[in-house]
Structure 1
């Protein structure tokens, strides 16, 4: 039983610890100290829902309906490219980069962005639903595998969101935010273009 949970934890950690749209967003929120806990919980609960859906068999449904993945891919590409443009604009305007000089985004706007970055990303369905779901089916205690996978997700997002505060002194200057937002723009644009090429 413990082996299944540990296998789920490791499998999820390997998939989740990569620079992607969702991770970049959580990092930015953590650095700005803006709605960090709601963002972390939204990401972790979304992963729990997606992992559970995969174990319950949603992966088979998605495999049978490739047009759904295609539609999500195009919507995700459009969203990521739009977000890349916004991050690039922040990087080019230093006065916008200083978190003390800008009113924080509303909780609603922040959570909508977080949900869009989560559910409009086709990789979340390929990795979390299809891959983790199919690997879980190979374990005698598949739901314990899922709990282990969800625990890895929660551990990662809490560490990323709350741990980002330690980087705040380093990234407290406008020039540092320019580099961060420029990097985020590059990651988002790359992911968006990749989705278009794969479509």
Structure 2
């Protein structure tokens, strides 16, 4: 069972380490030290639900509904384009510093954005419902497969809380407006690049 748990942990961690819209958002909120705990908890809990569904075999849904990946890709790309342009605009205008007045979002808006980055992102479903679900089938149904899922879920909790609270280590570097312009620019480019990848995948 311990081998299954470790496999689940490192499988989940290897997938979640890739730079993505959700990770960039958590990093930014961590730097602002704004709603870090509820945000990290929301992202990890969302992953837990999707991983549980994947391990339970929910990945068959995409086979039953062939149009679903296309709809998800279009919706996700549209959201990423809007948010990416917003961050590029912030980078162009500048003037932001660490925890500037009025820069931090309310808890409600923070969680709404997190929900969009999580549930409107087709890659999240591919990783959790698809890949993790597929790997889980190599373990016997029952306790071994459950242990694999627990390991993958634990990886999400470790990652998001480490990213959110670990971002504070970068705080000394983010006290200048220039540093924030660079960060917002990188986040904006990342968002647009992911959106482009989603749209190109439909061609």
- Residue 90 of structure 1 corresponds to 90
Query: For residues 98-156 of structure 1, what are the alpha-carbon distances to aligned partners after superposition, in whole Å with 9 as ceiling and x for unaligned?
Result: 52232521111110000100011101111111110111111121111000000011101
Structure 1 regions of 5+ residues with no counterpart?
none
Q: What's the CA shift string for 1:172-191, capped at 9, x where partnerless?
A: 11100000000000000000
Name the count of aligned residue pairs.
199
State the TM-score, normalized to the length of structure 2. Answer: 0.95
Counterpart position of 1:43: 43
SS at match of 2:100: helix
Q: CA RMSD in A?
A: 1.0
Checking the alignment, whether the CA contact within 8 Å between 1:83 and 1:185 is kept in structure 2 is: yes
Task: Determine the C-alpha separation between the residues in 1 that align with 2:30 and 2:64.
Answer: 38
Match of 1:166 among 169, 176, 184: 169
Give, in angstroms, the shift of residue 92 of structure 1: 1.1
Aligned to 1:68: 68
What SS is found at the alignment partner of 1:129? helix
Aligned residue number for residue 2 of structure 1: 2
Greater per-residue helix proportion: 1
SS of corresponding position for 1:179: helix
User: Does residue 190 of structure 1 match 2:193?
Assistant: yes
2:131 match: secondary structure: helix
Aligned counterpart, 1:179: 182
Residues 74-107 of structure 1: CA deviation (Å, up to 9, x unaligned):
0000000001011001111222455223252111
Q: What is residue 152 of structure 2 aligned with on the other side?
A: 149
